[in-house]
């Protein structure tokens, strides 16, 4: 794998981690009971009611409006109080306790917090009706500054969208990394060189497992060459257990060896 590819993969992984952290920041600092919007702009909102919406009531309004297969007029089922001249909530959908709607406001709407209770008309404004805070801002700059999340503040979008964009890219980078690593290993083994897979320090010897086996011409009792990370010979090692793709060996503690060393079949 080239140095450029490694740097790019590392960069994408770092960005993914940062986007996940940013998503957690959004989850901790945000509130499902606060709706933020810029005066004069539309915001999509959602929340929960105190009680589930009666499906029979939904069908009734759909039948009365003659739109059984289209959008039901949920504004006839759900409402809010108090109501203001400069802002309005429109309810687009409700299922169970969940509802989805639109927050609209005039361009001259005063900045500030406005608390509303959202409930079903048939049940009336119960005390347990959820209270939501509508927070209006005069401009986009003030709106963005209200967020602690980096993506929301500087990019104007929720950080989980950044995560969703980066995730396929990370998976692709991992695929490329594994593919290139496999090619590098195959190229090394074709030259009679294998990387060290495992290096464990014993009482008198190192226990070594490396990436050459019987498929590469290694046999039990063979004397192989230990190479440092610069591919320079620094010692000899004897194969003790040989598998198709890897070999076990022991190596005296006093001799130089490290996880980034290699084992090579000696040239004839």
Q: CATH no. for residue 233?
A: 2.40.30
pLDDT value for 248: 96
The answer for residues whose C-beta is within 8 angstroms of residue 250's C-beta and 6 or more apart is 202, 205, 206, 207, 208, 237, 238, 240
Query: Total structural domains in the chain?
Result: 3
Domain for residue 93, yes or no?
yes
Q: What is the mean pLDDT of residues 237-248?
A: 94
pLDDT at 69 over 60: no
Domain for residue 153, yes or no?
no
Same domain, yes or no: 58 and 116: yes
pLDDT value for 68: 47
Domain containing 257 equals 191-264
pLDDT value for 4: 75
Measure the CA angle with vertex 70, ends 67 and 76; round to 5°. Answer: 65
Confidence of residue 7 (pLDDT cuts 50, 70, 90): confident
Same domain, yes or no: 51 and 114: yes
Same domain, yes or no: 44 and 125: yes
pTM: 0.64
CATH number at residue 135: 2.60.40
Same domain, yes or no: 197 and 179: no
Confidence of residue 239 (pLDDT cuts 50, 70, 90): very high
Confidence of residue 2 (pLDDT cuts 50, 70, 90): low
Same domain, yes or no: 185 and 201: no
Q: What is the mean pLDDT of residues 84-106?
A: 94
Same domain, yes or no: 36 and 88: yes
pLDDT at 98 over 90: yes
Same domain, yes or no: 182 and 227: no
d(C-alpha 45, C-alpha 157), whole Å = 15
pLDDT at 42 over 50: yes
Same domain, yes or no: 174 and 205: no
Domain for residue 152, yes or no?
no
Same domain, yes or no: 137 and 46: yes
pLDDT single digits (tens) 46-64: 999 999 988 877 777 766 6
């Amino acid at each position: 794998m080239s140095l450029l590819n490694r740097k790019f993969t590392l960069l994408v992984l770092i960005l993914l981690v940062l986007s996940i952290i940013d998503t957690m920041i959004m989850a901790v600092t945000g509130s499902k009971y606060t709706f933020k919007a810029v005066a004069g702009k539309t915001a999509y909102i959602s929340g929960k009611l105190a009680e589930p919406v009666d499906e029979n009531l939904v069908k009734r309004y759909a039948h009365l409006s003659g739109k059984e297969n289209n959008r039901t007029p949920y504004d006839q089922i759900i409402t809010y109080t108090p109501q203001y001249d400069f802002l309005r909530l429109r309810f687009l959908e409700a299922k169970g306790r969940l509802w989805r709607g639109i927050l609209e406001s005039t361009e001259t709407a005063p900045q500030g917090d406005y608390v509303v209770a959202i409930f079903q008309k048939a049940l009336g404004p119960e005390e347990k009706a959820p209270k939501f805070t509508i927070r209006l801002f005069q401009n986009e700059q003030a709106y963005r500054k209200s967020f602690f999340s980096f993506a929301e503040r500087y990019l104007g979008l929720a950080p989980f969208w950044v995560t969703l964009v980066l995730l396929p890219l990370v998976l692709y980078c991992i695929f490329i990394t594994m593919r290139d690593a496999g090619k590098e290993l195959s190229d090394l083994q074709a030259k009679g060189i294998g990387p060290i897979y495992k290096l464990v320090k014993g009482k008198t010897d190192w226990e070594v497992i490396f990436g050459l086996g019987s498929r590469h011409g290694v046999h039990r009792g063979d004397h192989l060459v230990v190479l440092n990370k610069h591919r320079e010979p620094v010692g000899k090692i004897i194969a003790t257990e040989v598998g198709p793709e890897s070999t076990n060996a022991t190596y005296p503690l006093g001799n130089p060896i490290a996880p980034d060393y290699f084992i090579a079949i000696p040239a004839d």
